[in-house]
Amino acid sequence: MLMSKPLSFGHGPQQTLKCVEVHKIVKMGSLFRSAEMTLCQLFLQSEAAYACVSELGELGLVQFRDLNPDVNAFQRKFVNEVRRCDEMERKLRYLEKEIKKDGIPMLDTGENPEAPQPREMIDLEATFEKLENELREVNQNAEALKRNFLELTELKQILRKTQVFFDEAVAGGNVCHQAELSAYGGSQMADPSREEEQVTLLGEEGLRAGGQALKLGFVAGVILRERIPAFERMLWRACRGNVFLRQAEIETPLEDPSSGDQVYKSVFIIFFQGDQLKTRVKKICEGFRATLYPCPEAPADRREMAMGVMTRIEDLNTVLGQTQDHRHRVLVAAAKNIKNWFVKVRKIKAIYHTLNLFNLDVTQKCLIAECWVPVLDLENIQLALRRGTERSGSSVPPILNKMDTPEDPPTYNHTNKFTSAFQTLIDSYGIASYREMNPAPYTIITFPFLFAVMFGDLGHGCLMALFGAWMVINEKPLAAKKSDNEIWNIFFGGRYIILLMGLFSMYTGFIYNDIFSKSLNLFGPSWRIFNISNADLKSKTVFELDARADQNYLGTSYPIGMDPAWQLATNKIIFQNSFKMKISIILGIIHMLFGVVMSLFNHLYFKNRLSILTEFIPQIIFLTFLFLYMVLLMFIKWFVYFANISDDDIVYGTRCAPSILITFINMVLQKATPYEPKCKTSNMFAGQIGLQYLLFYIAMICVPWMLLAKPVLIMRKRKQAHAYSVTHQQMASATENGDAQQTGGGTGGHGEGHDEEPLGEIFIHQAIHTIEYVLGSVSHTASYLRLWALSLAHAQLSEVLWNMVLSKGLKVEGWPGGIALYVIFAFWASLTVSILVLMEGLSAFLHTLRLHWVEFQSKFYMGAGYMFQPFSFEVILDSASQSKEEP
């Protein structure tokens, strides 16, 4: 069933587009193979080209090829328009930055405006120009005003602070100066004040007289607070201690108008004597970027000035407020449209960028393009072109011509939101070759299933499925959020995989009868406790239940899954290992056989009879006769051998049951399997040895078959062809090349088939393939044992977690038990989620990925294609908005 079904979905290349019905049928199977592509030549009237390309961009189904690869980017036809778009984009980014600065919400209606007509570009440009200029002007004004405001504020602060200094100087008698001395006298900085103090000793009048006589000058200004210590030191050194500095901090931070940062500043006043010192002090102030302000000496002047400053600040405040209001209004108006504008400009730019890839024909009236298009969508493309022509008002319809090309077309898989995640898994290994079998549809189930074999636990699977279901149900609101969190985006992108992995884990967990390492007893175990005597119960601590049907075993197995009795058993691992190892091999071999059968569909599709005969047939024989036979032996062992009741059955009893692995190894090594005398034979069925010899020798014949048949046949064919007609062939190839060069344009004619490959290379290739396959069969089979290993590890880990953590909480008695359980449960639950679900889930995921990439896909998947990258506004806009958010 598994193997025959895909046949009905494969499509021959002959199925062409004769009617719409055929389209739809072919379209259904589109994910099974990549879409059929064709190279087309497109003739567009110059005036219609813009509108047509715009329509194609909306459609997103056409990949244009660069027809001027040797023309540099600055010499192309529409480079001017692209530049203008760049300029517009720059202006928009500036606007956006300003909008963000003001924290105005940008309206994102999610609407998708059509690319505007080329003539609208001028309007847009004018709009943006106007907006930008207005904004720049407003900003300049605002900055000037702010600078003015800052200066005034600083002046205000100076007047206020220096008032204190002067007041101290004036009102302070000796006491005040004493205090000042104690503060500053310790440093020699206070030298001038010491002089001053001596003056004050003469009394009030003396002070005035002395003050005037000494002609103490001063400057006042404002400086950044962090510069104060260096400033002070510099002053002290440069003036040799002959100046007196007083400073006070301005408590409120001031706004720096150029950067908009809040900075802390201090007011200082420096007293000095003489002009020499004055120039020196001024120079130092300049050097430290301190701003100096005039400060009148007389208190009355100062008061007057302060009054003036206050009124000017108030005036400035109103003007500033109005400026800000204006700026805000402009920005709010722009914010409504900015997303829309961005979309428009990016679309125009993308269109011109695409037009730059086109060729001008001789008459200059027509643009020629070459593009890859999916054959099925040709009609859609024609429609889009017609729409474009109508929109532009051109009378001449565009012409779409199919072309022949020796090149491999790009690979294009139609995916939807469900299948795209699985396709991504496949694509990250390698893009499928053109029209090769796509593993993605099968991966949708085999991936979660193999994952679940390793992750099998009803409880953990349930958690995972719930998480997946939550993401799937809330798909739209979650997708609209557009989170930047990379990990979340990975989870969200794989939501359907997670959901399916969870569901399958629930199923396998149910079959393993494992729920957080405990079992469910739904159907009653098939083991009973019977025949245990009183003495036994007292003397023995461990009881092995007798597997014989008339003893502890009821005779029929537990209907669904693992018997709950095994979960309680101390020898659980022995039993489960044998079971899990066997199913790993069984599933693995079926998976690989499936892969080999897929290669048959590839060969059939590509009409590669040679490969079917020389590769597929020996491969499948090799795998079936050796490995599928081993699977058969496992089933025979399960069916035939049982715990014997009487000695008559000892041949089929526990004692005589042969090991499958030993049997298989001996089959390959051609050795007899040893057996106990009372078992009479090591055979599981009559004629086993003979059959094994036969199978083994046929399988061995397959090795040289795979190795030599293909190259030898190719060699013979070439000799025949060579003898046939040299001249005829030469002529044919000459004309072919000529045609190809004409139609293929500048692409050149590379990519000859492997007919031209030298024979030696074919031999080497085939040898590598054969060795890879034969050795791979062994190593890949063993590789599937990871299913067993991970599943064992997962079950054991969850059991350890239960026994070491949660069961401790369950054993505390009385009311403290409740509290203990509460805490311990939280601990257990967080460990369960973080380690068992997240980490184990990740590890099982990676192992499953490997099983698919290596073990499964190596059987048929070339993965040598390249991705179809259509010209699509959707993709361009998405990537543009993403790259914008990154920095």
Partner 1 sequence: MGASAIPFIIFTVIWAGVGGFLPMVVPKGPNRGIIQVILILTGVCCWLFWLCCYVAQMNPLIGPKLDRNTVLVVAKQWGIEILIVFHFQSDLTKAFPGYKP
Residue 434: how many other CB atoms lie within 10 Å: 21
Instruction: Give the residue from 151, 433, 457, 441 showing the smallest Cα distance to 290.
Output: 151
Q: How far lies 306's CA from each of 255, 297, 472, 869, in Å?
A: 21, 13, 68, 70
Mask for 446-465, x = binds partner 1 (CB under 8 A): x--x---x------------
Does residue 553 belong to the site contacting partner 1 (CB under 8 A)?
Answer: yes
Residues 620-639 that bind partner 1 (CB under 8 A): 635, 638-639
Nearer to partner 1, 1 or 672 (CB): 1
Distance between CA atoms of residues 325 and 319, nearest Å: 10
Residues 238-277 that bind partner 1 (CB under 8 A): none
Does residue 863 belong to the site contacting partner 1 (CB under 8 A)?
Answer: no
Does residue 675 belong to the site contacting partner 1 (CB under 8 A)?
Answer: no
Number of residues that bind partner 1 (CB under 8 A): 81
CB of 564 to partner 1, least distance (A): 9
Distance between CA atoms of residues 247 and 360, nearest Å: 75
Nearer to partner 1, 34 or 242 (CB): 34
Nearer to partner 1, 24 or 289 (CB): 24
The secondary element (H helix, E strand) that includes residue 372 is strand 366-374
Residue 541: how many other CB atoms lie within 10 Å: 5
Q: How far lies 325's CA from each of 88, 138, 257, 304, 328, in Å?
A: 25, 10, 17, 32, 5
Does residue 861 belong to the site contacting partner 1 (CB under 8 A)?
Answer: no
- One DSSP character per residue, 562-587 reads S-HHHHH-TTHHHHHHHHHHHHHHHH
3-class secondary structure for 474-503? CHHHHHHHCCCCHHHHHHHHCHHHHHHHHH
CB of 563 to partner 1, least distance (A): 6
Instruction: Tell me how far apart the 2 most distant CA atoms of the chain are, in Å.
Output: 138
8 A C-beta contact, residue 354 and residue 125: no
Amino acid identity of residue 113, one-letter, is: P
Q: How far lies 791's CA from each of 272, 498, 514, 801, in Å?
A: 87, 18, 11, 15
Structure token pair of residue 498: 């997670």
| Number of residues that make up the chain | 887
CB of 521 to partner 1, least distance (A): 7
Does residue 445 belong to the site contacting partner 1 (CB under 8 A)?
Answer: yes
CB of 409 to partner 1, least distance (A): 22
Distance between CA atoms of residues 684 and 632, nearest Å: 11
Does residue 557 belong to the site contacting partner 1 (CB under 8 A)?
Answer: yes
Distance between CA atoms of residues 12 and 26, nearest Å: 10
Nearer to partner 1, 372 or 527 (CB): 527
Does residue 508 belong to the site contacting partner 1 (CB under 8 A)?
Answer: yes
Provide the strand spans (E) within 228-330. Answer: 244-249, 254-255, 262-263, 265-273, 291-293
Span interacting with partner 1, options 367-375, 460-468, 557-565, 666-674, rule CB under 8 A: 557-565
Nearer to partner 1, 27 or 678 (CB): 27
Does residue 546 belong to the site contacting partner 1 (CB under 8 A)?
Answer: yes
Distance between CA atoms of residues 838 and 11, nearest Å: 41
Residues 374-407 as b/e (b if ≥16 CB within 10 A, e otherwise) read bbbbbeebeebbebbbebbebeeebebeeeebbb
Instruction: Give the residue from 288, 463, 446 showing the smallest Cα distance to 852.
Output: 446
Distance between CA atoms of residues 117 and 50, nearest Å: 8
Nearer to partner 1, 218 or 641 (CB): 641
Residues 634-673 that bind partner 1 (CB under 8 A): 635, 638-643, 654, 657
Residues 575-594 that bind partner 1 (CB under 8 A): 575, 578-579, 582-583, 586-587, 590
8 A C-beta contact, residue 267 and residue 161: yes
- By CB neighbour count within 10 A (0-12 exposed, 13-18 middle, 19+ buried), where does 501 fall? buried
Instruction: Pick the binder of partner 1 from 238, 378, 545, 862 (CB under 8 A).
Output: 545
Nearer to partner 1, 640 or 726 (CB): 640
Alpha helices in 759-814 (DSSP H): 759-783, 786-801, 807-811
Span interacting with partner 1, options 314-322, 530-538, 609-617, 701-709, rule CB under 8 A: 530-538
Amino acid identity of residue 645, one-letter, is: I
Structure token pair of residue 148: 């003015």
Nearer to partner 1, 575 or 822 (CB): 575
CB of 2 to partner 1, least distance (A): 5
CB of 560 to partner 1, least distance (A): 7
8 A C-beta contact, residue 244 and residue 270: yes
CB of 503 to partner 1, least distance (A): 10
Span interacting with partner 1, options 185-193, 319-327, 441-449, 473-481, rule CB under 8 A: 441-449
Span interacting with partner 1, options 199-207, 304-312, 324-332, 445-453, rule CB under 8 A: 445-453
Residues 372-411 that bind partner 1 (CB under 8 A): none
Nearer to partner 1, 385 or 462 (CB): 462
Does residue 507 belong to the site contacting partner 1 (CB under 8 A)?
Answer: yes
CB of 458 to partner 1, least distance (A): 14
CA dihedral 445, 450, 451, 456 (to 10 degrees): 110
Instruction: Pick the binder of partner 1 from 157, 242, 356, 552 (CB under 8 A).
Output: 552
CB of 6 to partner 1, least distance (A): 7
Nearer to partner 1, 15 or 187 (CB): 15
Nearer to partner 1, 282 or 518 (CB): 518
Instruction: Pick the binder of partner 1 from 525, 745, 749, 817 (CB under 8 A).
Output: 525
Instruction: Pick the binder of partner 1 from 488, 530, 685, 693 (CB under 8 A).
Output: 530
Residue 584: how many other CB atoms lie within 10 Å: 24
Residues 22-81 that bind partner 1 (CB under 8 A): 24, 27-32
Nearer to partner 1, 264 or 543 (CB): 543
Distance between CA atoms of residues 252 and 261, nearest Å: 13
Nearer to partner 1, 184 or 507 (CB): 507
The secondary element (H helix, E strand) that includes residue 669 is helix 660-669
Residues 409-438 that bind partner 1 (CB under 8 A): 416, 419
Structure token pair of residue 286: 């300049």
Does residue 799 belong to the site contacting partner 1 (CB under 8 A)?
Answer: no
Instruction: Pick the binder of partner 1 from 90, 540, 607, 678 (CB under 8 A).
Output: 540
CB of 643 to partner 1, least distance (A): 6
Q: What residues does 352 pair with on adjacent strands?
A: none
Does residue 792 belong to the site contacting partner 1 (CB under 8 A)?
Answer: no
8 A C-beta contact, residue 430 and residue 863: yes
Nearer to partner 1, 72 or 556 (CB): 556
Nearer to partner 1, 569 or 805 (CB): 569
8 A C-beta contact, residue 98 and residue 331: yes
Span interacting with partner 1, options 313-321, 361-369, 544-552, 730-738, rule CB under 8 A: 544-552
Structure token pair of residue 753: 């088939």
Nearer to partner 1, 320 or 511 (CB): 511
Instruction: Pick the binder of partner 1 from 75, 178, 428, 571 (CB under 8 A).
Output: 571
The label of the residue with tokens 């397959």 reads 702
CB of 439 to partner 1, least distance (A): 11
CB of 26 to partner 1, least distance (A): 11
Instruction: Pick the binder of partner 1 from 218, 442, 516, 629 (CB under 8 A).
Output: 442
